[in-house]
Amino acid sequence: MTKPRSTFTTGLPGLDRVLHGIDAGDNVVWEVEDIEEYRELVAPYVHAAKAAGRHLIYFRFANHPALVPDSVDAEVCEVYPANGFENFVRDVHAVIERAGRGTVYVFDCISHLSEIWGSDQSLGNFFMLTCPRLLVLETVTYFGLYRDQHSSYALDPIRSTTQFMLDLFRLDGRLYVRPVKVQHRSREAMNTIHVRQGEAFLPVKESAVLAQILSRTQWPRLQSDRRAGFWRKLFHEAVAVSQDFKAGKCSLEAYDDMTRRVRWAMRVHRSGIAPLVERYLKLEDFLDIRDRMIGIGSVGGKTLGMLVARAILRERDAELAAKLEAHDSFFVGAEVFITFLVRNDVWWIREKQRDADTFLQGLDEGRHRITVGRFPNNILEQFQGMLDYFGESPYIVRSSSILEDARGNAFSGKYESVFVVNRGSREQRMSELLKAVRCVYASVLDEEALRYRKRRGLLESEERMALLIMRVSGAPQGRYYYPQAAGVGLSYNPFVWHPDIDPRAGVVRLVFGLGTRAVDRSDDDYTRLVALNSPTRRPEANFDDVREHCQRRMDCLDLKEGKFVSMDFPEVLKEKPDFPLDLYLSYTAENYPWITFDRLLTETTVAPDLRRMLTLLEEAYDHPVDVEFTLNFLADGTYRIHLLQCRTFQFRRETGTMLPSEQIERQRLLTANGAVIGVSREQPLTRIIYIVTAHYARLADRDRYEVARLIGRLNRKHPEDDRGLMLIGPGRWGTHSPSLGIPVSFGEISRASVVCEMVEMHERLIPDVSLGTHFFNDIVEHDMLYLAYFPRNSGNAIDASWFLNAPNRLLELEPSAQRFAEVVRVIDCAAIPGRVWLRADATSQESLVFRTE
């Protein structure tokens, strides 16, 4: 049985014959020189639609005259591209879904979208998201597009997605149509110019006539490179303005206006540090960024933070800025990410993350599509150019999303960073790069990252992933590659372990080798904590013998095996590095080395330089800052600081002395002296989750993971607005190794107000004072208090019988947790006679949990 023909038509029977008819689902793109040419074809199309009883919708968003006459009964939907790409897509699709099947549509000239968004790529992405849905709903749609105004970023996806693409132009008063794409119908019409004569459209076949027409129109497809697109034209103009300004041929007003246009194109206004970018980055800085960009769009928060910090030092202290290592980075624009999602069918999965009811749906499928996704050819060419630039130097692919490193939302460790050793054939190196990029992109759909966004009220905020691809700081030392030292620095020190320490002088956490051991909790090791006004004073003196708590392992890249490794540092040193090891190492009487950084801190200007750097950055930010850096000494005895990252540090400073405690009799439940990190406080506790060390220590590792998941469920059942939850457990909270503590993610303890680590499971284990780590940053963002309890130290005591005998609500809250009833105790303080309080003094490093009568 033959399927009946649809009643759709262009309204011009002669044109219908050329195109072999218009079918349900067809999208028709008209390339025009002037909007009046498009209007001439729209008029018969809309009149025919209404005559056939079709529902007609006109999307109005451009500033040209209306295309649909007032006499035509059309539903006019005004949509606003200035509200952003994602909102525009949602608004258009909401109308499409409401209208349903068989609707006829007219869109304003979509070239205006490219102008408003400053991105041909965004225009192409919009079309690829919208055209297929219109096809499924069996609609017919007209789109207008200005000729010679777009690059392949827009034209390629539009051509590949639409059913019809028709060039329309006027010459000597006559109207010509040239079908560029006809979706496998009327192939004889492809690339054949037709001239309108009355109602007919006749093919132009004579070579002399064709040559006359084409020579006079200078057909653009003869020289495709002439179509520069919005982005390239903007930056070409920006280069000219910069050169003219330097030569005195351009006014300051014109220069500033050009800078604003470039900032807008790079979406700086959506950055959390937009005022700092506007203050410190000049037009020439943005031109330098563009010279190292792959794709277009925003470069994200991490990139802007790094570049702004360097610009601040450049302006405020040229001598210090001269000690910075050049970043030698490349930037993958956020539009590449959006295009990748669209072309690999991930966009609509990601859209579910905006809704608190569906934000965890489809994650596995979305991540799978990303990990096998394909990139456009033009992006692959740029990736190859970057690899040729790097040669075989290692690099790291770092996330740099729009929301990342903004004030109040650091996203510490929520998205991936991937080291690439970058050895092997060209094909192998490209494969490893694409694998790393996909890995970072997939982390946008990571459950922990999405739960973080939900906690911070950011599910509905636009999130785009740009990338920062940096040459790894350091040098090859035999088969291994690493920087000499690395660390994190905080301009405000929240851990004042001695009266001599000035918290306003800042603190750094140093490691030997790659800085991964400084920003992640290294469960089997320790780092060097340095108060910058008193760099030789070690906190370990309050804990145990210094040698017991020095760094024993280091992270580096194994150039032979082509991978990231963690090793005992003496093994790495067998390769005989050619830098001054004595700056970093001290030796026992038996000549055994351990990492102390003693000479680095006493015989060089590293500590005062870092202190100066942090002070300048805090002054410019008008807020404490958190930085990541590396250190490398050169053959001439000088050194370079590589400033990798800078963001606001969300720690709340002390505003005064502790409030006096109630002068009443107390029962001391827990006394912990020696490590208090956070703002001093005295508060009532409403619930304590207490992990019994003796029972937990007997569990197999798989059961310890189960306990961690159980704690996560208890955490989610605790009221979000109740800040009276305290966690007490053995070893390290948030460890990756269950043998050393409790392997929770931060999301599984996010509603706690106080976290206490009991040093009871392992005789060598001390709580790692993890300043600057991702785990620590989550703690301070949520204004948690961190305590450590040392049972063998004087002044530390616990009333174990009280914790063991208090009523346990575990099974009431989690009936299926019977086998962990002796391990996990949930104590509701409201059910205890009197009240349970916490008193913690960060200045004196003393904390107390007590019960009042």
Pairwise CA distance, residues 179 & 88, whole Å:
29
SS (H, E, C) 647-709: EECCCCCCCCCCCCCCCCCEEEEEEEECCEECCCEEEECCEEEEECHHHHHCCCHHHHHHHHH
Residues 230 and 223: beta-carbon distance below 8 Å: no
Instruction: Check residue 99 and give its pLDDT.
Output: 95
Q: Is 398 left (phi over 0), alpha (psi -120 to 50) or beta?
A: beta
Q: At what angle do helices 229-246 and 120-136 cross, to 10 degrees?
A: 170
Amino acid at 453: R
Q: Which pLDDT value is given to residue 793? A: 76
**pLDDT given for residue 656 in this prediction:** 46
Reduced to 3 states, what is the DSSP secondary structure of residue 389?
helix
What pLDDT, on a 0 to 100 scale, did the predictor assign at position 209? 61
Instruction: Report, in angstroms and rounded to the nearest whole number, the Rg of the chain calculated over CA atoms.
Output: 32
284-327: pLDDT as tens digits: 999 999 989 999 889 998 999 999 999 999 999 999 999 998 88
Distance of alpha carbon 626 from the chain centroid: 17
Task: Give the span between the Cα atoms of 789 and 743, in whole angstroms.
Answer: 19
What distance in Å separates the CA atoms of residue 710 and residue 728, rounded to the nearest whole number? 15
Distance CA 115, CA 126 (A): 14
Residue whose tokens read 């005591």:
797
pLDDT for the residue numbered 651: 64
Neighbours of 235 (CB within 10 A): 19
Between the CA atoms of 291, 296, 302 and 306, what dihedral angle is there, to the nearest 10 degrees? 20
Those residues of the chain that have pLDDT short of 70 are 1-6, 183-191, 205-228, 405-413, 497, 520-524, 539-549, 589, 650-665, 760-781
Q: What is the DSSP letter of 505?
A: G
- Pair type for strands 754-758 and 725-730: parallel
The residue behind tokens 């960060």 is 842
**What pLDDT does residue 95 have?**
97
- Which whole-number Å values give the CA distances from 724 to 266, 652, 727, 836, 838, in the listed order? 43, 18, 10, 10, 9
Burial 575-597 (b: 16+ CB within 10 A, else e): eebebbeebbbbeeeeeebbbbb
d(CA 688, CA 686): 7
Query: CA 121, CA 171: separation in Å to the nearest integer?
Result: 31
- Exposed, middle or buried: residue 197 (CB in 10 Å: 0-12, 13-18, 19+)? exposed
pLDDT attached to residue 777: 61
Q: What is the pLDDT of residues 800-823, one digit of tens each?
A: 999 999 999 999 999 999 999 999
